[in-house]
Structure 1
Amino acid sequence: MKIDLTGKTAVVTGSTQGIGRAIAAGLAESGARTVVNGRTRESVDAAIARIRADVPDADLVGVVADVTVPEGVATMRGAVPEADILVNSVGIFEPEDFFDITDDTWYRFFTVNVMSGIRMSREYLPGMYGRGWGRVVFLSSESALQIPPEMMHYGMTKTAQLALSRGLAERSAGTGVTVNAVLPGPTASEGVTDFVAKLNPGDERSPEEQLDAFVREHRSTQLLRRAATPAEVANLVVYLASEQASATTGSALSVDGGTRRAIF
């Protein structure tokens, strides 16, 4: 199977590092004109340089915009009026005990992780409907189905994304537009790797080794016995963005290394 996205424009929010950047790289490698998005010019330029180092002929557009607020979404739409593929990957996480999470933090997590996808989808879906083709992918998490007690606010937003992606798939029935969610498990993104390394500042192992050990100890149901790579998650997103995935919509697809003990 050869995935060819030539002629398509893909917007990937929060794509300056980690899974988002890997998704942007994968889409660009498949021929899509790919929009790399972040909140600062420095981070966007650095991400573009890194992607081009691996994909020299990548067709990349950098857009500096904070898509977690309405003004940033308007900036994005102004820079990229139409998109064939939208990947809602911007998001935040942090551990915090339920009784320490303030109202402001609950609202902040919902605004960043959920409202960003709502606003971006509202902007770009009508154009996809008009062209009779489109792909929307929400980057959720296995935490949507196995709510982490140390990050209930994060898990709540990831569950909300599943409701949103399914609802938008229903709304898009018969239009040629598919809407799906991808549920990664423990993944060796910069944020997660740095987070685990900070838990044991005296540990002499590499950050990657520490993360793999963390997965084996704290995610004991995970079958890979290691963290997934951002590229491994991105591969599923690129497939869902392709013509080959035209019969897959309204689905929540896991790429969690078997963390969730379920057969469907």
Structure 2
Amino acid sequence: MRIDLAGRTAVVTGSSQGIGLAVATGLAGAGARAVLTGRSRDRLDAAAETLRGTVPDADVITVACDLATEQGAAELHEAVPAADILINNLGIFGSRPAMDITDEEWRTYFDTNVLSAVRLIRLYLPGMTGRGWGRVQNIASDSAIVVPLEMIHYGMSKTALLSVSRGFAKEAAGTGVTVNSVIAGPTHTGGIEKFVHELVGADLPWDEAQREFMRLHRPQSLLQRLIEPEEIANLVVYLASPQASATTGAAVRVDGGYIDSIVP
């Protein structure tokens, strides 16, 4: 399958590393203009250099802003007034005993993981529907469905994203714009390495720590390993393509079989 996104502008939030950078790289490889976002200018510059190392002729721009705030969303929209593809990947996670999660932490997770996506959809969706083509994807998680005891505030935010996606898909009905969630399973990123070591022991070598984490904390995984960011990106790029024109309002899984269900 040849995916051609030439002439399309793709905004990918939280794209200075991990899944976001892999997604932006995949979209750039298909010909899209990639817009990288994050709070750190230095990390964004490094990410853009990494992307160009993989896709030498890539059209890449960076926008440093805090998308957990209304001001940050406005700054991004001012810098990039129109987008054909919006990938809401920005998110935070961390372990916390359920009874210790404070009101402020609940608000922070909702603002960062949910409202950041809602704001950008409100800003970019009208242009997409007006042009008769667009792709919106919200990067959710297996934790949206299998809520982990050690981070129910994170699970809550990802469950909310499923509703946001379905609702805005209805708003875009019949316009040529699709809105979907991507349910990512346990993925190998820098952030997850720290998280894994927190749960199974900081002194274990990475390969052993990963095996222990999957055995003790994610035993449902049929893949029995962490997913690589590029594997998430492959699905995202497909859903952003013209070939995925009939997929909308869906929660599409790339979870390594983690969720024990035969339907999405």
Q: Shorter-chain TM-score category?
A: over 0.9
Other-structure match for 2:219: 220
Query: In structure 2, what is the Cα distance between the partners aligned to 1:13 and 1:211?
Result: 27
What is the correspondence of 1:93-172 to structure 2 with a 5 Å cutoff? Answer: 93-172=93-172
Query: In structure 2, what is the Cα distance between the partners aligned to 1:27 and 1:240?
Result: 11
Q: Which amino acid aligns with 1:163?
A: S
Q: Which amino acid aligns with 1:133?
A: W
Query: In structure 2, what is the Cα distance between the partners aligned to 1:21 and 1:218?
Result: 26
- How far residue 258 of structure 1 moved from its aligned partner, in angstroms, is 0.3
Query: In structure 2, what is the Cα distance between the partners aligned to 1:241 and 1:55?
Result: 18
Q: For 1:50-99, what per-residue CA distance to the aligned partner results, in whole angstroms no more than 9, with x for missing partners?
A: 11111111110111111110100011001101000000000000111111
Q: Which amino acid aligns with 1:16?
A: S
Query: In structure 1, what is the Cα distance between the partners aligned to 2:126 and 2:35?
Result: 19
Q: Which amino acid aligns with 2:255?
A: D
Q: Which amino acid aligns with 2:238?
A: Y
> Does structure 1 residue 52 correspond to structure 2 residue 52?
yes
* 5+ long unaligned stretches in structure 2: none
2:67 match: secondary structure:
coil
2:37 match: secondary structure:
strand
Other-structure match for 1:86: 86
The farther-off stretch of 50-59 and 134-143 is 50-59
CA RMSD across the alignment: 0.9
Other-structure match for 1:201: 202
- How far residue 216 of structure 1 moved from its aligned partner, in angstroms, is 2.8
- How far residue 208 of structure 1 moved from its aligned partner, in angstroms, is 4.5
Other-structure match for 1:247: 246
Identical aligned residues as a percent: 54
Q: Give runs of ≥4 in structure 1 deviating > 4 Å.
A: none
The farther-off stretch of 209-218 and 73-82 is 209-218
1:66 match: secondary structure:
coil
- 8 A contact 1:188–1:211 mirrored in 2: no
Q: For 1:114-163, what per-residue CA distance to the aligned partner results, in whole angstroms no more than 9, with x for missing partners?
A: 00000000000000011000000000001101111111100000000000
Query: In structure 2, what is the Cα distance between the partners aligned to 1:74 and 1:208?
Result: 42
**Count of aligned pairs:** 262
- How far residue 209 of structure 1 moved from its aligned partner, in angstroms, is 4.3
1:140 match: secondary structure:
strand
Alignment CA distance shift 1:212-1:19 (3 Å): farther
- 8 A contact 1:84–1:135 mirrored in 2: yes
Q: Which amino acid aligns with 2:220?
A: T
Other-structure match for 1:178: 178
1:112 match: secondary structure:
helix
Query: In structure 2, what is the Cα distance between the partners aligned to 1:3 and 1:209?
Result: 37
Q: Which amino acid aligns with 1:66?
A: D
* 5+ long unaligned stretches in structure 1: none
- How far residue 20 of structure 1 moved from its aligned partner, in angstroms, is 0.6
Query: In structure 2, what is the Cα distance between the partners aligned to 1:193 and 1:231?
Result: 17
Q: Which amino acid aligns with 2:157?
A: T
Query: In structure 1, what is the Cα distance between the partners aligned to 2:150 and 2:40?
Result: 30
Query: In structure 1, what is the Cα distance between the partners aligned to 2:161 and 2:74?
Result: 21
- How far residue 218 of structure 1 moved from its aligned partner, in angstroms, is 1.7
1:173 match: secondary structure:
coil
Query: In structure 1, what is the Cα distance between the partners aligned to 2:110 and 2:137?
Result: 18
